[in-house]
Amino acid sequence: MKSTNENIREQIETLRRTVTYHAQRYYVYDAPEISDFEYDRLYHELLALEREHPELDSPDSPTHRVGGKPLEGFEAVTHTVPMNSLADVFSYEELGEFLDRVAAVLPDATYSVEPKIDGLSVALTYRDGVFVSGATRGDGLVGEDVTANLRTVLAIPMLLPEPLTFTVRGEVYMPRASFERINRARTAAGQTLLANPRNAAAGSLRQLDPSVCAERGLSIFIFNLQEGALYADGHVPATHTETLARLRELGFPTLELTAVAAAQEEIVRHIEKIGASRDGLAYDIDGVVIKIDTLSQRGVLGEGTKTPRWAVAYKFPPEQKKTKLLDIVIAVGRTGVLTPTAELSPVRLAGTTVSRATLHNLDFIREREIMLGDTVLVQKAGDIIPEIVCAFPAERDGSERSFDMPTRCPSCGEPVTRDAEEAAVRCTNSDCPAQRSRSIEHFASKDAMDIEGLGPQLVEALLAAGHIRSAADLYTLRPETVAQMERMGDRSAANLIAAIERSKQAGLERLIYALGIRNVGVVAAAALARRFGTLSACFDATVEEICEIEDFGMITAECVTNFFSHPQNRALCQRLIEAGLVTTSTAKQVDDRFRGMTFVLTGTLPTMTRDEASALIKERGGKVSGSVSGKTTYVVAGEAAGSKLTKAQSLGVAVIDEAELLRMIEA
């Protein structure tokens, strides 16, 4: 007769199998067999038993997939099989050239044609059927150990039905539903919205707190066997499509819409079919992968330095859609500039629902002959910023109206003026409420003082209540004052005050940028800090001295001197000094090996943040830019690099990875 403990052990093991099975039906096969309520009941029954009997707990239980203790950092992982990237093609002509190169060696080749998921590539390792580790792609040779975060991705099986040992490769992504849910919550909290699902997935997987990653609702598709065997007897599938079938049999989510084709016409048809399905998918794709299906034939072509010769990625052109321009609203920025923004009939575009698009200025509207009520073509610049490409005059019905900029500021009612040398229209009132609000929001932003939790809604509320009038007033706020604001409580207030206190240590580079001086961005602010060393020294800098800084011209230099000559701005700076902010430069010049070179950083680097890489470059005399041009010397590309990498390749700009950058620094 079984003991009570044995019965409980069996009950727990049965519940684990049941919960795992139903989670797999939901997250992998999209075919749930029970309701969410019933699943939650089983899950919590298992959780209660494990808490009552901790001696029977197991790290492989499905109850351990909601995150654990925060990590101190990510360990570097060297991949035993390199995780190479794919060469991109941007037209059917380029695709044809690839197919011709293959046909010259393998005239009978057939191809797997499958969607290219817009996410972050990872390797998952199993030992005797148990998930043991996972790592990001990194530079292809060295990635980061993100095992704890990957355990929170419910589509990844922790236990396989067979005791197999192998490593598979997949793409972690953020489903559209998760992305929209998170952005709704961030909107309600007054936080900055996530830009797109791809960047959101990469950022989520690199959270040091696994519980944060668990809340993001990530998923995965597995698309390759890296090493090991998928069968206990060592049998190896002959084709890629057989491999995918076997992986799905073992419980891995694999790509839908995958087909096998031979002729270019057939491949193109399937590419267009996948492209036409984009709107209806639950996840984002940015292209189609075409790779030789027979695995033995891949070995004949081999690998290039960074990309295989047996596969390419056809990249979709920027997605464009028609919609209606309903209205044009005016926003007043922190420097008083009036910016027109289009309000659109909502349209799904590049992974998000777009209902607003920038119109830049009146010249932009006139050049494109845009009228209120027009049918317009919308795209996302760099798959991030919505913009109007053009209007369709032929589709007008006579109800459309022309647009003119207002003659008075919509925020304060004071007159506006247009600088003869600029396209911008500005409010003439330096005490304009909108300017105060935007300037404080800018002061608290991530690249400035990085005051987490101080979003636009809270800034507006603090201003309306009279608790603040300038950025300096943030450092006089008390927790009990903040706790009384709407949607705030004691804990939120304490967190905000702590973030404000931490911002005092941000340094002169961030502080100069936070002040919101016209034409002074992150790079220029850091250059000013390096040149003058203290905030007080910036007060007395002359136009001539500032113009001696590389890439500073007369206009920017005059903007700086004008700012610091204004009594109101000097008083603000003096209050910040008295509040205890660090107003000295933390920058150091190591050498000038990168003098005259311009770097652009894109994607997620394997061992450091982009800010850390930027600092290393600047310490050696280099410049870091946010955009790629013909003047760019190097693009440093990490995981999930996007449009900047594409533009660099089209311009012939040298592309390096983090490892190469570090070699240049250490040389």
What is the Cβ-side half-sphere exposure of residue 516, based on CA atoms within 13 angstroms? 20
Q: β-strands 219-228, 259-261: how paired?
A: unpaired
Structure tokens at 414: 């004071």
β-sheet bridge partners, residue 303: 308
Among the listed residues 116, 618, 644, 647, the single catalytic one is 116
Token pair for residue 165? 């040992």
What tokens appear for 355 in the block?
């209902």
CA angle in degrees (0–180, nearest 5) for 341-342-345: 150
The answer to whether the CB of 354 falls within 8 A of the CB of 386 is yes
Sequence-ordered alpha helix ranges (H) in 567-636: 567-578, 610-618
Calculate the alpha carbon distances from 438 to 334, 434, 469, 519, 525 in Å: 5, 6, 12, 16, 19
Which residues are CB-neighbours of 90 under 8 A, at least 6 positions away?
Answer: 314, 315, 317, 646
Residue 79 is encoded by which pair of tokens? 């991949």
Q: What is the DSSP letter of 466?
A: T
* Residue 495 contacts residue 423 (beta carbons within 8 Å): no
Q: Return the number of other C-beta atoms located less than 10 Å from residue 332's C-beta.
A: 23
Euclidean distance between CA atoms 433 and 329, whole angstroms: 17
Alpha helix (H) residue ranges in 465-518? 479-483, 490-503, 508-514
The token duo for 278 is 């984009």
Whether 116 is a known active-site residue: answer yes
292 forms beta bridges with 111
Backbone φ and ψ of 321, nearest 5°: -145, 150
Catalytically active residues, by annotation: 116
